[in-house]
Amino acid sequence: MWIHFLYCSITIEDVVYVIDCGRIKVTDYDPRQNTSTLTAILVSKANAAQRSGRAGRVQPGICYHLFPSYVYNNVMSEFLQPEMLRIRLEDVILRIKVIKTTFLYLFSYEIHSTY
């Protein structure tokens, strides 16, 4: 299973080998069933390149892609569809509300106006 934190800018010095199965789980919204689902789909070429770059950041490393070059060249898209187009707008709004509430709670100190 792919670890999503490896997409971040975090460098883990001990990562020498990356095994890329070529799949990723994404959240999709099905309007016919009015539900969100977690679906395993093929990664994009950009995702595959990102995964390759995780191996050998600090020392020599190797990335093993477990899919044929035909799939990479003829089936994979350049980029994945943005998450904003795959999920329900209500979910995004609820996430923003949670973040805003958490942010205000963490920084709940008196702000003095200069006006």
Whether residue 41 contacts residue 26, with contact meaning beta carbons closer than 8 Å, is answered with yes
Does 75 score more than 90 pLDDT? yes
User: Residue range 79-84: average pLDDT?
Assistant: 89
pLDDT of residue 92: 79
Beta strands in the chain (DSSP E): 17-20, 23-30, 35-42, 62-65
Predicted confidence (pLDDT) per residue in 87-110, tens digit = 888 887 888 888 776 665 555 555
Tell me how far apart the 2 most distant CA atoms of the chain are, in Å.
64
Residue of 4 and 36 predicted with greater confidence: 36
Domains of the chain: 4-88 (3.40.50.300)
Cα gap 35→28, rounded to integer Å: 8
Average pLDDT over residues 22-51: 91
Looking at the predicted structure, is the pLDDT value of residue 23 above 90? yes
